[in-house]
Amino acid sequence: MEKEKTDKKDHILDVAEKVFSELGYDGASTRLISGEANVNMAMLNYYFGSKEGLFIAVFERKINLFRTLLQNINEDESLSSWNKLELYIDKYVDRVVANSCFQKLVNREVSLSRHAEINEKITDILMTNVLEFKKVMQEGVDNGSFFEGADIGLCIATIFGTKNYIINTPQVASRMLGKDVLDENFLESELKPRMKIYMKKLLKSYLATEK
């Protein structure tokens, strides 16, 4: 029964992640989540203690999937700073687009000042990625690959912000780009490679600027 229990918990987490992503924390009622998951409402509290506990459980499951993703790139000493940054961008675009609903959820809830505990958890998740990017860019500045006056902090805001903008406001982005950014075909075959090319070129031209 232990195995089934884990399965059921995981199933609830799957559904909760989806519903939370679509409707936000407040908009996703426990009744709806339990209904979608075909479990009794009381099961949510039985397994996760509370709605907030369920929300955090959704997050903690994701962290473990994310954490190791970028870290091993930075340890490869055969790569130049620029190569590393390129690899980071590739991985980042791929991963993030594949989890866009969840990313949206993260960005939405972290911008609210309620639910202090939730907020802290999310900030921690986001920081792990931020710091990985920062490390490789700072290294590039230090070894002279990138120009000395480069504003690393704002560069990172650009990398994450550009992506977030498309993910978080797809209606606006769709109107702007003339195509539906939620269309899986367009996203995969056109937007993803286009984003990679653009972000590399953008960063390269900036970071290569003469002093």
- Selection from DNA, a second copy, none that 39 binds (CB < 5 to 8 A by kind) is DNA
Amino acid at 134: K
DSSP string computed for 145-201: SS-TT--HHHHHHHHHHHHHHHHH-HHHHHHHHTS-TT-HHHIIIIIHHHHHHHHHH
Residue 43 has which token pair?
């099961």
Q: Which amino acid is present at 59?
A: F
Among 24, 66, 139, 183, binds a second copy (CB under 8 A): 24
In which residue are the tokens 């992506």 written? 163
Rounded distance between C-alpha atoms, residue 56 and residue 42, angstroms? 18
Binding of residue 172 to a second copy (CB under 8 A):
yes
Give the interface with DNA as residue ranges (CB under 7 A): 1-2, 4-5, 8, 26, 28-32, 39-46, 50-52
Among 7, 117, 142, 165, binds a second copy (CB under 8 A): 165
From DNA, a second copy, none, which one binds at residue 158 (CB under 5 to 8 Å depending on kind)? a second copy
CB of 122 to DNA, least distance (A): 18
| Part of the chain binding a second copy (CB under 8 A), chosen from 62-70, 91-99, 138-146, 148-156 | 148-156
19 Cβ contact partners less than 8 Å away, ≥ 6 residues apart: 28, 32, 33, 36
**Residues forming the site for a second copy (CB under 8 A):** 22-24, 26-27, 104, 107-108, 110-114, 119, 123, 126-127, 130, 134, 151, 153-154, 156-158, 160-166, 168-169, 171-173, 175-178, 194-195, 197-199, 201-202, 205-206, 208-209
